[in-house]
Amino acid sequence: MNHEDYKELLALDALGSLDDAETRALQTHLASCAECRGELAELRDTASALVYTLPYAAPHADLRGRILENIRALRSDTTQGNNNMPQSGETAQDTATATPTPPISTDDASLPSQQTSTVLPFTTRRREGTGRVWKYGTLAASLAVAALLVSLGVLWQRNRALQTELARLSAQTIDTQARINRMEQELAREREAEEIFAAPDARLATLAGTEAAPDARARLTYDRQTGRAIMFAHGLPPAPAGKAYQLWFIAGGKPLPGAVFTTDAEGRAVLRDQMPPEGRADPIFVVTLEPSGGVPAPTGDKYLLGKSEG
């Protein structure tokens, strides 16, 4: 590939649209071409600007805290590990001598919850004639023991961190499962509603308010085949205590009882109902006010009335 070919890849790379082979080839070229690196940076900034056209969205309020917790769990892992890298200006010497290693014991209470360094200070060798071999032997042994104890401490800390993480993840799993259940339920309800609207034998009835509620309106869609119905009502006055609205299907002169419902604070209601088989062939729909819990035959005033438009 010549330079022009690589330049052709830049825009697609900025958009994240290159395949793996192309990406690798471009990376190799970029290592030695400042011109392309500069152009890629500008194209990347152009691409990311596209995000400004999207609406902002708010994630769950506790996400921030969870992320910070995760970070802390990660941190206590990396400082336990072989992390002798100096932080911002400190030298490795400083890290070794400045942070004292706390006494290691298996007693839970004595271990600090945040250990910042597990660098073992090296003792200096002493040069003394005959006792040298014996002293080195002891030194080696005590170093080995100390190293073992340090590893124990390290593993202990890691275990604690993992336990915390496990607890957190379990809580999160339960939370997520609850969410999934709720969403599945919602989805099932939405699908049900869709099926009603999309049914080949679907009918729409418009209900108008009576003198008891002149501003009330309702639209009721029902599937003559399955009898499933969904009604959106608004403008209904709130039902007084001990009372509720009830839907009726009038077919063959007889009122068949439907579902009982109440309205929200704004006088609206969404109702899903199952029409009895005898009531499915284009009944008259009526909503009355009844004792809460419903009744087998209508007793109260009519609030909404209507039938399908055909």
Partner 1 sequence: MIGTKSLTEQREIDKSDVEFVRAVANGEERALASLYDRYSSILFGLLVRILHRRAEAEDVLQEVFIQVWQKAPDYDESRGRPFSWLVTIARSRAIDRLRSLDARDRLSMAAALETPEVASESADDEAIRHEQRDIVQSALDQLSEQQRQTLLLAYLEGLSQSEIAARLNEPLGTVKTRTRSGLKKLHGILRKNLDKLR
Per CB under 8 A, residues contacting partner 1 are 8, 11-12, 14-17, 19, 37-38, 40-60, 63-64, 66-68, 70-72, 74-75, 87-88, 176, 179-180, 183, 187
Which amino acid is located at 206 in the chain? T
Q: Which residue has the tokens 């002891």?
A: 138
Nearer to partner 1, 125 or 191 (CB): 191
Nearer to partner 1, 43 or 259 (CB): 43
Backbone φ, ψ for residue 3 (5° rounding): -60, -40
Query: In the bound complex, what is the minimum distance in angstroms from residue 298's beta carbon to partner 1?
Result: 39
Cα–Cα distances (Å) from 233 to 13, 114, 130, 236, 287, in that order, read 53, 59, 101, 7, 10
119, two tokens: 């660098």
d(CA 16, CA 9): 11
Nearest to 272 by CA among 223, 241, 228: 228
Nearer to partner 1, 152 or 180 (CB): 180
Nearest to 296 by CA among 228, 248, 231, 227: 248
Which amino acid is located at 79 in the chain? T
Nearer to partner 1, 8 or 264 (CB): 8
List of residues 6+ apart from 49 with CB closer than 8 A: none
Nearer to partner 1, 2 or 88 (CB): 88
Query: In the bound complex, what is the minimum distance in angstroms from residue 186's beta carbon to partner 1?
Result: 9
Query: In the bound complex, what is the minimum distance in angstroms from residue 6's beta carbon to partner 1?
Result: 13
